[in-house]
Amino acid sequence: MKKAFFLILILLTACNTFFKKKTEHVLAKVNGDYLYESDLKGIIPPGTPRKDSLILSKNFINNWVRQKAILHYAVKNLPDDNMDFSKQLEDYKNALILYEYENALVKQKLDTLITNEEIQDYYDANQKNFLLKDNIIQIQYVKLNLKSNNVKQFKKLLNSDDQDDKNKLAELCEKQAADYFLDDQNWLYFNDLTKQIPIKTYNQEDFLKNHRQLEYQDSLYLYLVRFKDFKIKESISPLSLEKQRIREIILNKRKIDLISRMQEDIYSKALKNNEVEVY
């Protein structure tokens, strides 16, 4: 009976849709289900060439027909017991209600202010969880045209720690360098550097231990690199590289604690008010 009712419901819905849209152009039909031209609205992005539009439309129609045919066959052949989804729907509804309530609670009451001291404390207490998976570096590099006339000046300024020289280097790079990176306070992954500079090495650890300056030339450019510091993978990752991750960890822990307290409070109140009975 459940299956028959389900099939009748599908048929009535299809008929109602048909009469409501009877003036529209029908693109496909599968056992009483109709696909109308308006159902393709939003499927094809504006400005799509006609040839591509036809391909997208055809694919959508074929997928719709295939899905409807398989669904109709499944409804016909599934046992009645397998057609009762009331428990799954109820569980899904309850899960959605709890999810929405928890989200609303988090938005209203979660303390999102995290101090540097909290981040430092978490980092100090959990350093074993912050081991590097790749080699990292602090560097400055300049990429110059092979025809550049100021190579000596670039080298001199690049290897200086004087603040005036750093300012001069930044100005010179802005005017003449093909590319450059001068922020030697932040950490970069060595693999990212090799995407910018064609460094050839089969052992990154040995390379980093044996290089403080690097001068490399290809057919178009001259690369000047100064390595300020490095850390090898499996060593402890620096705090500056982990700050955002730690912030997210702390926030997530606060969120879990907040939801847990909410659940415990509600349950305790229900017990106190005799709203819970266990038989």
Distance in angstroms (rounded) separating the CA atoms of residues 133 and 135: 7
Provide mean pLDDT across the span 60-76: 89
CB 226 within 8 A of CB 140: yes
Determine, yes or no, domain membership for 238: no
Q: Which of 84, 105, 120 is the last residue of a domain?
A: 84
- Tell me: do 166 and 205 sit in the same domain: yes
Provide the percentage of residues in the chain whose pLDDT is more than 70. 92
Strands 26-30 and 188-189: unpaired
Q: Count other Cβ atoms within 10 Å, centred on residue 130.
A: 17
Per mean pLDDT, which range of 28-42, 121-135, 257-271 is the poorest?
28-42
Does residue 236 sit within a domain?
no
pTM over 0.85: no
Residue 267 domain-assigned (yes or no): yes
Domain presence at residue 237: no
Do both 110 and 65 map to the same domain?
no
One domain for residues 269 and 248? yes
Asked if residue 222 and residue 146 are part of one domain, the reply reads yes
How does pLDDT run across 89-136, given as a tens digit for each residue? 999 999 999 999 999 999 999 999 999 999 999 999 999 999 999 999
Long-range contacts of 214-222 (CB under 8 A, 24+ apart): 217/146, 220/145, 220/146, 221/143, 221/144, 221/145, 221/146, 221/178, 222/143, 222/144, 222/145, 222/146, 222/148, 222/151
Q: Which of 59, 84, 109 is the last residue of a domain?
A: 84
pLDDT of residue 1: 46
Q: Are residues 70 and 90 in the same domain?
A: no
Does a structural domain hold residue 100?
A: yes
Instruction: Give the CATH number of the domain where residue 153 resides.
Output: 3.10.50
- Give yes or no: residues 141 and 217 share one domain: yes
**Domain span at residue 10?**
2-84
Mean pLDDT for all residues in the chain: 87
Distance of CA 110 to CAs 107, 116, 255, 256, Å? 6, 18, 7, 10
Q: What is the reported pLDDT for 14?
A: 52
Given a cut of 70, is residue 254 above it in pLDDT?
yes
Amino acid at 10: I
| Statement: residue 17 has pLDDT above 60 | no
Same domain, residue pair 48 and 59: yes
- For residue 23, name the pLDDT band (cuts at 50, 70, 90): low
Q: Are residues 143 and 202 in the same domain?
A: yes
Of 54 and 7, more confident = 54
Tally of structural domains, the chain: 3
Summarised one tens digit per residue, pLDDT across range 179-205 is 999 998 999 999 999 888 888 888 999
- Token readout for 91 is 């569980």
Task: Identify any residues that bridge with 223 across adjacent strands, giving them in sequence order.
Answer: 143, 216
- Say if strands 188-189 and 136-145 run parallel, antiparallel, or are unpaired: antiparallel
